[in-house]
Structures are given as structure tokens and as C-alpha cells.
Amino acid sequence: MSRIEAIVPYPWHPGYTYSPAVRIGNTVYLSGTTATDEQGNLVGPGDIEAQTRQIYRKFDLIMRSVGGSLRDIVETTDYVLSLDEYRKTARVRREVFGDPWPAATGVVVAGLIRPDALIEIKAIGVLPSC
């Protein structure tokens, strides 16, 4: 039995070479995620706040599937196309998280794998000890 558990709480293409998340013990590593729905369509084209909310909805599904919640996320890394757009995500973070805030890194990039996405986020969660 592998000590790495793939977490796949929503429809996933069998040809993908990565998992939405993996769990090792109490640590959950959430892959870089864009704001797609179950059919792979982008949610909130041109709206970084809507895209950020959709990403956190997907993270919520992942964390709940392993007995956790968004409050168990301890670190996020946001990849965005501009600093001005990145600043708009703060409203969503305030809705999703609270004190104590997770550690965070914001990275402005020249482009994302999905060209219509404005943001991609990856995260790390730590589940409460059993």
C-alpha cells in the first residue's frame, strides 16, 4: 500500500498525469488549480474574484473529502498575470480564511497553462491529528 493517497473528489480526466491533491499522513498537497467547472469550462471569464472563489470551492471539496475544511489550509501560492488583478483576490481570501491566516505567496507570471485563466492557486493543508 502506497503511503501517498490520491485525492480525486470530482470528475477527473483519466489521461491526466497528476492528481487534484495527494495526502501523505495528515498533510494534503493541493495541485495548482484553475477555475473550471465539472465539464472543464472556465468559471468567471475575465473576473479574477469569480475565478478565485471557484478555485476555493474546489479546494473545499478536496479538504472535505478527507475530513478537513478550508480552515486546515496552512499555505497558498497564487500565480497571477498582474499585480493589480492579484490585489482583487484579497476580498475573496477574507471571505474564505480568517485569523490565523495561512501563509501565502503571490507570483506574477507571464502566462498560465490555461490561457483564459487569470489565476492558478496551489495549497497545502494539514488535517487535525486523529
Task: Determine if residue 46 is left, alpha or beta; phi over 0 gives left, psi from -120 to 50 gives alpha, anything else beta.
Answer: left
Number of compact structural domains in the chain: 1
Q: What is the dihedral of CA 109, 21, 115, 101, to 10 degrees?
A: -50
Q: What percent of the chain has pLDDT over 70?
A: 98
Q: So what's the pLDDT on residue 43?
A: 98
Q: How confident is the model at residue 1 (pLDDT cuts 50, 70, 90)?
A: low
Contacts of 39 (CB under 8 A, 6+ apart): none
Sheet with 73-80: strands ordered across? 5-7, 21-24, 27-33, 119-126, 73-80, 103-108
**Tens-digit pLDDT profile for residues 46-90:** 999 999 999 999 999 999 999 999 999 999 999 999 999 999 999
Which residues span the domain enclosing 42? Answer: 5-126
Domain of 27, CATH number, reads: 3.30.1330.40
Query: What's the mean per-residue pLDDT of the chain?
Result: 94
Q: Is the pTM of this model over 0.85?
A: yes
* Reported confidence tier of residue 111, pLDDT bands at 50, 70, 90: very high
Whether the predicted pLDDT of 98 surpasses 60 = yes
